[in-house]
Structures are given as C-alpha cells and as structure tokens.
Amino acid sequence: MKQKGLRYDGSIDKYPIAEGEIYCLGNGSKITIADITNGLPDFSKKADCVFIDPAGNKGVLKAYYTKAEKACPVQSFDEFVTYIKSCIEQIKPERIFVECFARNKNQILPMVESLFPNVKVYNNTYYHIKKNECWIIQGSKQPEDWGLDGMDEWDAVFKICKEVPFNAITDFFLGQGLVAEAAYEAGKVFYGSDMNRNRLAVAINRIAKRGGEWTIKK
Ligand SMILES: C[S@@+](CC[C@H](N)C(=O)[O-])C[C@H]1O[C@@H](n2cnc3c(N)ncnc32)[C@H](O)[C@@H]1O
C-alpha cells in the first residue's frame, strides 16, 4: 500500500489524472501532468501571465521528486533554475510573479532580472504567519506596482488573479492549486501543470468543490 503522505488528501481516488490526460473547464482552463525538465505542455505557452512558487533548493526539489515517485534528473539547483528560465522564455508572458525564500532569492532574482527590464520585489509571508518571510518577485515589460507588499502569499495570489489584466495565467508548479483556485474565483483562465499527479488531483478537487465541472481529454 502507498504511504498516506504521497497521496495527500486522497483526491486521486476521485480524480485519477494520468499522464497525457488534460482536465478541462468550459472556460478553457486546463490541468495536466508535466515535469518541466521534459518540456512544458503546449497550452501553457499561450498564457500571458505566470505565477510560480518553485522548490526552494536542491534538497527540497529532491524531496518533491521522491513524493512524485520520480528520479531527480538535475545535479544542482542552478541547473533547475535554467529549466525555469527556459520555460518562461518559451511562454514570453507580459509579466511574471515568482515566489521565493531566503534560501533561493539569490538565484531567482537574477533570473527574473535577466528576463525583464522592470523588476519589483514585494515583501510577503506564507501560511499567514508573520515570521514566515518570503518575497514575490515581479518581472514586467512596464514598471508596475500591484500593491502586494506586506500581504500573505495566499491573499497576494487572489489579488493578482482579480486585479492584474491577463488572458490566461499559468503555473507550471501548480501543486495543490492555489493559482487555479484564485483564477477560478476571479473568473479567469488558468493553465496548470505539475509532475505530481496526487497534488494535481487535490487542485482538481478544490476547483470541483467551488463548482467547476471537469471534462477529460486524452
Ligand atoms: C512549493 S510547491 C508549489 C505549491 C503550489 N503553489 C500549491 O498551491 O500547492 C512546488 C511544486 O513544484 C512541483 N515540482 C517540483 N519540481 C517539478 C518539476 N521538475 N516539474 C514540474 N513540477 C515540479 C512539486 O511537485 C510541487 O507541487
């Protein structure tokens, strides 16, 4: 029997998403399984906004691969950051938001600076705990301030989805679906992927609980 930890809340029993399947909503939102080191889903490349919350370092990344029951193919966190950068270059979005922590800010910030002429760093928290410090790094074509300073990441993502103009937002580390939930609530299109099907099933279930009706394309 699989360990409970790998199955999260067990949503996978209700939504057994498999490799190659695309879960779709009527408004064009999509979720599929993808490891970014093997390439992005084609639909993700149509997004004009990106929000991602990548693993914080090599150790955390390896743990995510273990949880996904996959072998970690990268030798260093720097190598992983080159894959992230390549994904963003393929999407060519108007703007990106990358959540980072003290342990990976030194790698994420220069990556965003290398891609966009305007970079803004917001001070944020996670899990609504003041001492849980994180940053949302925004890269954009024009200088912009979306007023995210001081917000918890959860509220910041909801604010981004509600107030930032975009046709579709993508998160290629969708996990349990914060970006999907926030975009769905705002009535916006999202494209989500992650290498871990158990985590994506949690996201799919959360959207269903908010009223989303999924169809599956093979
Ligand atoms: C910090 S979590 C993101 C949490 C997410 N914001 C949420 O709402 O649950 C990072 C996610 O990246 C995923 N991940 C890590 N490496 C990946 C890779 N190479 N390709 C795709 N997903 C990956 C993990 O499975 C994990 O779900």
- What tens digit of pLDDT does each residue of 50-100 get? 999 999 899 999 999 999 999 999 999 999 999 999 999 999 999 999 999
CATH (domain of 190): 3.40.50.150
pLDDT digit string, tens, across residues 154-207: 999 999 999 999 999 999 999 999 999 999 999 999 999 999 999 999 999 999
Backbone conformation region of residue 200, classed left if phi is above 0, alpha if psi is from -120 to 50, else beta: alpha
Closest atom of ligand 1 to 175 CA is 27
The count of structural domains within the chain is 1
Determine the pLDDT at residue 19. 97
The pTM (predicted TM-score) of the whole model is 0.97
Lining ligand 1 with CB less than 6 A are 35-37, 53, 55, 61, 64, 68, 173, 175-178, 194-196, 199
Closest atom of ligand 1 to 177 CA is 8
Average pLDDT, the chain: 96
SS (H, E, C) 4-73: HHHHCCCHHHHCCCCCCCEEECCCCCEEEECCHHHCCCHHHHHCCEEEECCCCCHHHHHHHHHHCCCCCC
Taking the C-alpha atoms of residue 48 and residue 140, their distance in angstroms, rounded to an integer, is: 11
Q: Is it the case that residue 1 has pLDDT exceeding 80?
A: no
Pick the closest to residue 174 from 189, 198, 193 (CA basis): 193
Per the structure, the complete domain to which residue 193 belongs is given by: 4-217
195 C-alpha vs ligand 1 centroid, how far in Å?
7
Q: In terms of C-beta distances under 8 Å and separation of at least 24 residues, what long-range contacts does 145-148 make, across chains too? A: 145/120, 148/122, 148/124
Closest atom of ligand 1 to 56 CA is 1
The structure tokens listed for 141 are: 């074509």
Taking the C-alpha atoms of residue 170 and residue 165, their distance in angstroms, rounded to an integer, is: 14
